[in-house]
Amino acid sequence: MLTIHGVTRSRASRIIWLCHEIGLRFRQIPVIQAYRLADPMAKDAPLNTRSPSFLKLSPAGAIPVIEDDGLILSESMACTLYLARKHGQPFGPADAQEDALMSQWSFYACTAIEADALTILFLGGKTDTAHERAAVEAAADRLTRPLEVIADHLAHNGHMVGRRFSVADINMAEVIRYAQSHEPLMRQFPAITDWLADCEARPAFRKMWEARLAEPE
């Protein structure tokens, strides 16, 4: 059985969402991020990314990590793309061209969108200083161009690849939703907000999200 190491309040969420879409059974070991703990090395600390047993599995000390048929794999996008390829359509690629496009859009989410979207996520509710407000607005400004690319693509295609919901939609949605709280930014892109609402209305997403909300903050 597939094993997912990582709490749902992490990038493991995109792997769990995909598993629910596929109907793939998995075992989850709730490794928590060390930065969320006062003393991750305390004797009574929960299993975390600095725990020696986890570092043997992942020397980088980062979640998520999956184990599947002897394969140990980290990096959440690599994990979702691997599982989608292994289990095939409709969530995985139909051919080499779709495989390339699913990788393209996943990498675009990571390189062009994620950093600024995370700035909005982490600072969006903490804009008490001029510096924080400026950082959020600068991030939103930088996101305008890549979001224009995504919005135009969705307006013409409906989904990221193959005109159907796939792992590429999961990977992109899981990054863009970090910026959802910036309403002035998102209002510029109705094609994205409509698509994102459809993604989040899917039963598999809701199942993942309910599990995420049930975890301690």
Span(s) in the chain for CATH 3.40.30.10:
2-87
Q: What pLDDT does 126 receive?
A: 63
Q: What pLDDT does 170 receive?
A: 98
User: What b/e string do you get for 95-112 counting C-beta neighbours within 10 Å, with b at 16 or more?
Assistant: eeebbebbbebbebbbeb
What are the tens digits of pLDDT across the range 110-132? 999 999 999 999 997 666 788 88
Give the class (CATH, top level) of 96-202.
Answer: mainly alpha
Tell whether domain 2-87 is in CATH 3.30.200.20: no
**Spans of the chain, pLDDT less than 50:** none
Span(s) in the chain for CATH 1.20.1050.10:
96-202
What distance lies between CA 191 and its chain's CA centroid?
A: 20
